[in-house]
Amino acid sequence: MSTATDNVLMEVKDLKVHFNIKADNAWPWTPGQALKAVDGVNLTIYEGETLGVVGESGCGKSTLARALLRLVPITDGSVVWLGQDLTDLDKKQMRDKRQELQMIFQDPLASLNPRMTVGDIIAEPLRTFKPHLSKQEVKDQVRAIMDRVGLLPNVINRYPHEFSGGQCQRIGIARALILKPKLVVCDEPVSALDVSIQAQVVNLLKELQGEMGLSLVFIAHDLSVVKHISDRVLVMYLGNAVELASKHSLYDTPRHPYTKALLSAVPVPDPQHERGKKIQLLAGDLPSPINPPSGCVFRTRCPHANEDCASQKPVLENLSSEHQAACLRLAEIA
């Protein structure tokens, strides 16, 4: 866990992203309902660290990622980048900030323009933010970053459909890093790739992080991958942060019932240990973010819930210098 002496890049305070949802057959004047995709998240991102974000599908991970970069409208709260609140910036000011804030998307092929060559795709940020560069300077920088991410320079004039998923993701990484940003948000960048390719891409990101001094926000479903690359891990459930800790503290001593259930489902390479392991199954389905449970949003699936959980919403509390969790019954279920 980073300390107060570390350099803070981004502070997220009570971040909320709510979408106004209407039924397909609703009348135009019918008011919509608020879908609470992210509902009051607080976190800090430090220079040079990797923050992993995990949780079930629909828990708000990708919406949080996009909100950090203001790619979706923010309903409430603040995202402070190097002392400046991004929510106060207009379009032009935010556009200038995008040199420092980049994103790698989940679907490597869908995130690339099929009508542009690899060279043009990677060079596009340079042409946007550094128009003073000559064509040769742009080409030299494109070739250099292609070589660094494992792409041969002779493929510079090919199109995205000519590449595999892993190669397309390398193109996306090159495009995100060519401006040498300070923070890169990785929205499930390996979920669409084969296991062996996943390892290559994750190791590449770790190497590039060390070389370029990057900070990463790494979103994934695979908790084994998150453990490999992350320094700290944020666990989300139904738009809320339920646990935040260093990876060793979280994986060795999870405190929130939801985190314990997630980790119990992670496969262990030891067959004997795997057979004897007890998986903690969650009851019921993930509630709708349009109509979340009152109080603790996890209470409808929590085996430890009581009456207090229905009336009080827990907040992240410091359990140690490396560990925070949001649960009203932590002392009883530890």
Q: By the 8 A CB rule, do 191 and 204 touch? A: no
Domain definitions of the chain by residue range = 8-20+33-100+183-195+211-333
Instruction: Give which of 133, 239, 121, 126 is closest to 173, Cα–Cα.
Output: 121
Residue 254 predicted with pLDDT over 50: yes
Q: What would the DSSP string read from start to end of 83-128?
A: TEEGGG--HHHHHHHTTTEEEE-SSTTTTS-TTS-HHHHHHHHHHH
Band (pLDDT 50/70/90 cuts) for residue 2 is very low
Neighbours of 165 (CB within 10 A): 16
Q: Which residues pair with 81 in a beta bridge?
A: 10, 84
Does domain 8-20+33-100+183-195+211-333 fall under CATH 3.90.220.20? My reply is no
Predicted confidence (pLDDT) per residue in 302-315, tens digit: 988 899 999 999 99
Residue 129 predicted with pLDDT over 60: yes
pTM comes to 0.90
Give residue 334's pLDDT. Answer: 64
For residue 179, the SS3 value is: coil
Give residue 314's pLDDT. Answer: 93
Give residue 278's pLDDT. Answer: 72
- Give CA separation, 152 vs 20, 119, 164, in Å: 46, 11, 14
Band (pLDDT 50/70/90 cuts) for residue 194 is confident
Residue 4 predicted with pLDDT over 50: no
Give residue 273's pLDDT. Answer: 61
